[in-house]
Amino acid sequence: MTLAAPVSRSVVEATELPRIIRIRPNFHVAAFGLMKLLPARFMLDRAEERGEVGPGTTVLETSSGTFGLGLAMVCRLRGYPLTIVGDPAIDAPLKRRLEHLGARVEICPKPSPVGGYQRARLDRLEELRAEYPNHWVPGQYRNPDNPRSYALVAEQLAETIGVPDCLVGAVGSGGSTSGTSSFLRMLVPEMTLIGVDTQRSAIFGQPDGPRVLRGLGNSLVPPNVDHSSYDQVHWIGAAEAFAATRELYARHCLFMGPTSGASFKVADWFARRNPDATVVALLPDEGYRYQDTVYSDEWLHAQGLAHAGAAEPYEVVAPTEPGGSWTWLNWGRRSLADAS
């Protein structure tokens, strides 16, 4: 029997949705090649429909990770000039990839006293807006089209494995977890949502500070994070996430980044504690950016992170309660003010 694969109109269409892979009978992962392709494409589609983007429009955005890369791919294919405002988290290989796609990359070298690099990037973005009269800013942290784009992921999950009992995902802009869960809960309102953050991230009420684990967390609280949608929140450390990332590849041949490792570790913990529940972990991107860091024994030893970290999370009753390198809180679908 010959199986004919559909012909895609672009690499974006071919790769914006994840592969659904079963890890164990009750545990699946949704593994993206580049998760942020989906919201980048969707947000630009809606902007074009509204007449906000057209010939001569310059796209401006702040990103130091995969949203910038996804946006650069979409803008390149559609012919829009793009400027990305980032920070030193944009390593040299990522900067080259962005520039090869035609993007101009600005690096903010110093964090702001309040709000860190995120605030510095947003301030520089405002300056650029004045320099480009005909511009469009996607605004991934506050644009409601970001979470809306994940209706396609919810539909894919519902059609392949059904609505899971529990969805687990890392939280950065809030788009993937808040968005996917909102559509799945139209079918099953009681579905559990677990958000994965890291220590010294302000999203769920911890004081902002330096973070080794990047790709999740934030120095500011993004408006797209719907706090009242989360049942549990986990703050996971770099050592735990890096070890889980390596395990994901060594045991399951899934070559992913550390944000995926963090999501996988929390979802695996929940799935083992709840064997009758169907669990899905969102894995945002592949591991190519991290070959010289997370996948390097020498780098891990040099950073003091060549250990597995905590095997089990410590339950806390407030976001700021100390509890080690992996803690969790029964968030209970509360607002940030109520949970704090």
| Residue 6: C-alpha distances to residues 9, 10, 60, 154, 157 (Å) | 10, 12, 33, 21, 20
323 and 251 within one domain: yes
118 and 147 within one domain: no
Give the integer Cα–Cα distance in Å for 150 and 35.
10
Strands 27-31 and 19-24: antiparallel
148 and 47 within one domain: no
Q: Which domain holds residue 200?
A: 12-31+143-338
- What is the pLDDT at residue 158? 97
**Total H helices, total E strands in the chain:** 12, 12
- What is the pLDDT at residue 116? 83
Q: Which of 108, 136, 164 is the last residue of a domain?
A: 136
Does the global pTM surpass 0.75? yes
pLDDT tens, N- to C-terminus, the chain (340 residues): 556 668 889 999 999 999 999 999 999 999 999 999 999 999 999 999 999 999 999 999 998 888 999 999 999 999 999 999 999 888 888 999 999 999 999 999 888 888 888 889 889 999 999 999 899 999 999 999 999 999 999 999 999 999 999 999 999 999 999 999 999 999 999 999 999 999 999 999 999 888 989 889 988 899 999 999 999 999 999 999 999 999 999 999 999 999 999 999 999 999 999 999 999 999 999 999 999 999 999 999 999 999 888 899 999 999 999 888 999 999 999 999 998 8
Tokens describing residue 140: 């991934």
Q: Which of 92, 109, 136 is the last residue of a domain?
A: 136
Tell which phi-psi region holds residue 175, choosing left (phi > 0), alpha (psi between -120 and 50) or beta. Answer: alpha
126 and 153 within one domain: no
Burial class (CB in 10 A: 0-12, 13-18, 19+), 119: middle
Q: What is the CATH number of the domain that holds 289?
A: 3.40.50.1100
21 and 88 within one domain: no
Other beta carbons within 10 Å of 322: 8
Q: Are 240 and 308 in contact (CB under 8 A)?
A: yes
Which amino acid type is present at position 259? Answer: T
- What is the pLDDT at residue 178? 95
- Beta bridge pairs of residue 135: 58
323 and 214 within one domain: yes
Tokens describing residue 112: 């702001």
261 and 212 within one domain: yes
Which amino acid type is present at position 183? Answer: F
Count of domains in the chain?
2
- Is 6 part of a structural domain of the chain? no
Greatest Cα pair distance in the chain: 63
120 and 89 within one domain: yes
Give the integer Cα–Cα distance in Å for 223 and 142.
5
259 and 131 within one domain: no
